[in-house]
Amino acid sequence: MNATVTPPSGPPGTTFSFAAYGFEPGEPVGIWLTAPNQATFGADLQADADASGSIANAEIGIKTDREFDEGVWSFNAQGVRSNRQAIGYFLISSSTSAAPGNPANLGTPIHDQLPAQGAALIIPVAGPGGTPFIFQGAGFRAGESVSVWISDAAQNSTPLPADQVIQEGSIVLAEFSSAGLADGVYTIVAQGDESDAVAAANFKLTNEFVAPPGTPRPPSVNGSVTPAEGGGNTVFQLRGQGFQPGETLQYWSTAPDGTYVLYPDQIQADSQGRIGYNPPLDLYGTGETLPGVYGFHFRGKAGGVRVDLYLTFTGT
């Protein structure tokens, strides 16, 4: 019995496709997934074998995300009449290589297209499907009930469960997973039931910023990272210049897993319009640091000058 899974391995976020052969022509074939802990999913899924006994044209596949346990999974298929079986194995692991990302995307300031309303903050601003997000909204009356929901581009709204929302005085915090949501732009909204105060933030589900090992590292602009590539014992020195003296800077970063974070705390250039000199801006990896290309971006709020710094972390 023949079965294939393409690709055979990949990190969370990979789409795996399944094909199997050898069934009776035209017979229904039951298909399910088995997780590393031997739990099964999708037992009600069926496809009809074609005239050659294949289900390859049924386009069976699954897009994984962070909610999938890492380890060896299997696609399983069984003919309803023949009882013939096919099993295809695949590995989900953060340590496996994904397809190289597009370095041309890594410097795009996507947060300019994703404005917030009121006193709202979301981390990250963008990431692949399955990324967990943290939202903070402020400006509500202490003690009032606050409704929180997510809307898609078609204005379809889904309320967040109460156990995902925490209210502390005038501040509301919500942590949620984007598992199961299609790529696109969404809005998370918090509204006070008495005050009608609104805090809202847009976020995007996209693979635009994914940059695993093998992604070409873009050249740094108006600055440098020394060294530009290294592993766990490396100290990366980030430096940039070209800002106005003492200018306030906006700061955001991208990581190999595709998360794009706009930081709420703004920083300032030094008296010579530089960053990373005094104080120094040094980074190093840990056992939890993902390998791949990282981008660190700074933009002057007064003059608009950009510093874009890139490094490749090879792992610990």
DSSP string covering 65-134, please?
A: -TTSPSEEEEEEEEETTT--EEEEEEEE-TTSPPPP--GGGTT--GGGGS-EESEEEEESSEE-TT-EEE
Residue 243 is assigned to a structural domain of this protein: yes
Residue 118 is assigned to a structural domain of this protein: no
pLDDT tens-digit readout, 140-149: 999 899 999 9
Residue 26 is assigned to a structural domain of this protein: yes
Regarding predicted confidence, which is higher, 3 or 32? 32
Q: Within this chain, do residues 182 and 238 fall inside the same structural domain, yes or no? A: no
Residue 98 is assigned to a structural domain of this protein: no
Of 143, 174, 205, the one marking the end of a domain is 205
Q: Within this chain, do residues 230 and 190 fall inside the same structural domain, yes or no? A: no
Instruction: Report whether 19 contacts 93 (CB < 8 A).
Output: no
Q: Within this chain, do residues 81 and 15 fall inside the same structural domain, yes or no? A: yes
Domain CATH number, residue 164: 2.60.40.10
Q: Average pLDDT of 286-314?
A: 93
pLDDT of residue 230: 95
Q: Average pLDDT of 276-288?
A: 88
Residue 174 is assigned to a structural domain of this protein: yes
pLDDT tens-digit readout, 5-36: 887 777 787 888 888 888 999 999 999 998 88
Domain CATH number, residue 22: 2.60.40.1930
Q: Is the pLDDT of residue 41 over 80?
A: yes
Q: Within this chain, do residues 188 and 255 fall inside the same structural domain, yes or no? A: no
Q: Within this chain, do residues 241 and 307 fall inside the same structural domain, yes or no? A: yes
Q: Is the pLDDT of residue 233 over 80?
A: yes
Across all residues in the chain, what is the average pLDDT? 90
Q: Within this chain, do residues 15 and 80 fall inside the same structural domain, yes or no? A: yes
Q: Within this chain, do residues 233 and 308 fall inside the same structural domain, yes or no? A: yes
| Number of domains the chain contains | 3
Residue 139 is assigned to a structural domain of this protein: yes
Taking the C-alpha atoms of residue 283 and residue 299, their distance in angstroms, rounded to an integer, is 19
Q: Within this chain, do residues 195 and 259 fall inside the same structural domain, yes or no? A: no
Q: Within this chain, do residues 20 and 88 fall inside the same structural domain, yes or no? A: yes
Residue 214 is assigned to a structural domain of this protein: no
Q: Within this chain, do residues 80 and 146 fall inside the same structural domain, yes or no? A: no
Lowest mean pLDDT among 3-17, 69-83, 258-272, 302-316: 3-17
Q: Is the pLDDT of residue 96 over 80?
A: no
pLDDT of residue 5: 83
pLDDT of residue 294: 96
Q: Within this chain, do residues 278 and 304 fall inside the same structural domain, yes or no? A: yes
Q: Within this chain, do residues 308 and 238 fall inside the same structural domain, yes or no? A: yes
HSE toward the beta carbon, residue 32, CA cutoff 13 A: 13
Percentage of the chain exceeding pLDDT 70: 96
pLDDT of residue 1: 43
Q: Is the pLDDT of residue 99 over 90?
A: no
Of 92, 114, 145, the one marking the end of a domain is 92
Lowest mean pLDDT among 92-96, 171-175, 291-295: 92-96
Lowest mean pLDDT among 180-184, 248-252, 302-306: 180-184
Q: Is the pLDDT of residue 169 over 80?
A: yes
Residue 169 is assigned to a structural domain of this protein: yes
Lowest mean pLDDT among 74-78, 132-136, 201-205, 283-287: 283-287
pLDDT of residue 97: 54
Q: Tabulate helix, strand, coil % of the chain (nearest 5).
A: 5, 50, 45
For residue 49, the enclosing domain spans 2-92
